[in-house]
Amino acid sequence: MNSKAMAALEAQGVGGEEHRATSLTGTEIAGTTLILTMTQEQAKEVLWRYPEAKGKVFSLAEYAKRGGDVADPYGGDEASYQAAATVIGDALDAFVERIPAGAAVAKP
């Protein structure tokens, strides 16, 4: 993870030291009930590659009932990384509010 992304996470109170980007696989698709992407285009790409994921794939904004894609900050300045982190954080807060009290949440 680059230093700008790490700084944006730390500003949100999140540690990213152990995060590693990986490619999505058919095995992961089969073993999950929800796949969240940063953009509608990414969600479409997942469905194009894995049609069996229909009903499981949403953009984060769509699922959290927030408008707009998360702009990719890659190659941008620190402000663009901070902006993306804020949008993601706000969407995740809205997402968490939608989880019914007492619902079981699987951990990876």
Question: What is the arithmetic mean of pLDDT over 48-65?
Answer: 92
Label residue 4 exposed, middle or buried (CB < 10 Å: 0-12, 13-18, 19+): buried
Structure confidence at residue 45 (pLDDT): 96
| Confidence (pLDDT) at 47 | 96
The tens digit of pLDDT for each residue in 19-51 reads: 788 888 999 999 888 899 999 999 999 999 999
Q: Which two tokens stand for residue 88?
A: 């993601």
pTM of the predicted model over 0.95: no
Which domains are delineated in the chain? 3-15+34-97 (3.40.50.2300)
